[in-house]
Amino acid sequence: MSTPRPAAVIVLAAGEGTRMKSATPKVLHRIGGTTLLGHAVRAARGTGAEHVEVVVRHERDRVVEFCAAFDDGLVIADQDEVKGTGRAVECGLDALPADLSGTVLVTYGDVPLLTGETLVALTAEHEASGSAVSIVTAHLPDPTGYGRVVRDAGGRVERVVEQKDASDDERAITEINSGIYAFEAAVLREALAGVGTDNAQGEKYLTDVVAIARGLGREVRAHVVEDVWQTEGVNDRVQLAALGRELNRRVCERHMREGVTIVDPATTWIDVDVAIGRDTTVLPGTQLLGATSIGSGAVIGPEVTLTDTEVGDGAEVQRAVARLAIVGPGATVGPYSYLRPGTRLGARGKIGGFVETKNADIREGAKVPHLTYAGDVTIGEGANIGAGTIFANYDGVAKHHSTVGRHSFVGSATVVVSPVDIADGAYVAAGTALTADVDPGQIAVARTHQRNVDGWVERRRAGTRTAAAAAEALERGGDDDAHDDAPTSESENR
């Protein structure tokens, strides 16, 4: 037997969200790597509904722009000047086919923990019961701010009353209306036509549909959820942070149950789209963001931030930042490395301490161990880049690319002035400023001769502590015995 699916899901995202105190529309604030509205759309898509619609009004163009980029199959409906959730749903129905029949779900763009599974269960129970309206409800110890579900003497749902319109007895009710509904499409259309604005807010309440449906003799049922977090909406930044923490807790728990070791979930943040293989260990202070993908048996952390980055099986990344980068199987990164977009580190390669890379293709077994900038460069298999090397890729106008061949060696403190090609099996001497290509088997040396100029400190730095120290050393006949064989004049060093 196939799972029932709704004919349409209407996601309400027209509100201003003034309590966020933000220039960004409330539904475009982010947790878990996507916007609140993105989470809501994913839950709606999880029902398999033929039509998924977003109702917009506040900052309409920005919200529509997000919708187009996130899911170009969404139906967009505009709410007019009439306020209220009832009017928002009415505008949503007007944008759907006039002959739409079946179940219509209504959800919100600021309820990020609601799942597609819950909406599917709501649809199945609604259709199996033959109800005209089904309401997602929950019991809260403190229901302040929520509409209350009023039941009759037989325990059936009679109506929903908003807090501002509720009596003292009604405010004492702990069963709250989440605002998430399943409706029979025909009943919803008919009932909305009869909803007015005679209430404390002067708005067209969707909740009034419940009483109207009951007046028509139709069944109204409650779909009670135990997971109260799924009914929680975001009204301010305090709630945004609370829901973000809870979402992250659930994401971490899911990965741990699938075979990932997360040493300290409280300091580990993982976005919802991140993939992690079994037997990987994630150490404290780690952030795995965007579409990051990590293989099995890897060690990530401590203090690592990876954004849209791919890490292979068995790789190790510690105290590093990477964005739009690839780290191959068995490779090592860190500590204190910065992998900028376009970095590709091959299998068993190494990017070491205080190394920055950008558009760098570092191939299998190649090493960039420490204190290096490697930008716009291809480093061949097994090559080694000495400490303090700089690939000077920018001439002030354009970026240029250099190549280091297989099993070649670039000595420490080298400046590679791009574009140059260092062939396979070549050497570059330490301290070289390389401006020309190097052929296979060659060693390139590009240094000036050392000159030791006598008396320079006495003439140019007279009166300083350095000059005093030099004078004392000269009186002793030299600083120490270790320098007895060093050249002492400019002529001796030529």
Reply yes or no on whether the pLDDT at 92 is more than 50.
yes
Model pLDDT for residues 3-21, shown as the tens digit of each residue: 889 999 999 999 999 999 9
Q: What is the pLDDT at residue 493?
A: 36
Closest CA to 391 of 373, 406, 379, 405: 373
Which residue out of 51, 370, 401, 449 is catalytically annotated?
370
Strands 175-184 and 133-139: antiparallel
Strands 147-151 and 175-184: antiparallel
Model pLDDT for residues 354-408, shown as the tens digit of each residue: 999 999 999 999 999 999 999 999 999 999 999 999 999 999 999 999 999 999 9
% the chain with pLDDT above 90: 86
Q: State mean pLDDT over 444-453.
A: 90
Q: What is the pLDDT at residue 494?
A: 35
Q: Which residue has the tokens 């070791």?
A: 261
Rounded CA separation 362/348 (Å):
10
Q: What is the pLDDT at residue 202?
A: 81
Q: What is the pLDDT at residue 156?
A: 87
Least confident residue range of 39-53, 208-222, 421-435: 208-222
Q: What is the pLDDT at residue 488?
A: 43
Model pLDDT for residues 25-71, shown as the tens digit of each residue: 999 999 999 999 999 999 999 999 999 999 999 999 999 999 999 99
> Which helix H or strand E contains 332, and what residues bound it?
strand 332-333
Name the pLDDT band for 492 (thresholds 50, 70, 90): very low
Reply yes or no on whether the pLDDT at 479 is more than 70.
no
Q: Render 144-160 in DSSP notation, one character per residue.
A: TTSEEEEE-TTS-EEEE
Model pLDDT for residues 167-202, shown as the tens digit of each residue: 999 999 999 999 999 999 999 999 999 998 877 778
Reply yes or no on whether the pLDDT at 102 is more than 50.
yes
Model pLDDT for residues 265-323, shown as the tens digit of each residue: 999 999 999 999 999 999 999 999 999 999 999 999 999 999 999 999 999 999 999 99
Q: What is the pLDDT at residue 304?
A: 98
| Averaged confidence pLDDT in the chain | 94
Q: What is the pLDDT at residue 159?
A: 87
Q: What is the pLDDT at residue 483?
A: 46
pTM here is 0.90
Rounded CA separation 365/300 (Å):
20
Name the pLDDT band for 211 (thresholds 50, 70, 90): confident
Reply yes or no on whether the pLDDT at 153 is more than 90.
no
Model pLDDT for residues 325-362, shown as the tens digit of each residue: 999 999 999 999 999 999 999 999 999 999 999 999 99
Rounded CA separation 98/301 (Å):
55
Hey, is 243 helix, strand or coil? helix
DSSP 8-class letter at 397: S
Reply yes or no on whether the pLDDT at 145 is more than 90.
no
Q: State mean pLDDT over 227-248.
A: 96
Strands 30-31 and 310-311: unpaired
Rounded CA separation 209/125 (Å):
19
Type of residue at 437: D
Evaluate whether 401 touches 384 at the Cβ level (below 8 Å).
no
Q: What is the pLDDT at residue 191?
A: 94
Q: Is 483 a catalytic residue?
A: no
Q: How many residues does the chain have?
A: 494
Name the pLDDT band for 133 (thresholds 50, 70, 90): very high
Q: What is the pLDDT at residue 490?
A: 40
Q: What is the pLDDT at residue 197?
A: 83
Hey, is 287 helix, strand or coil? strand
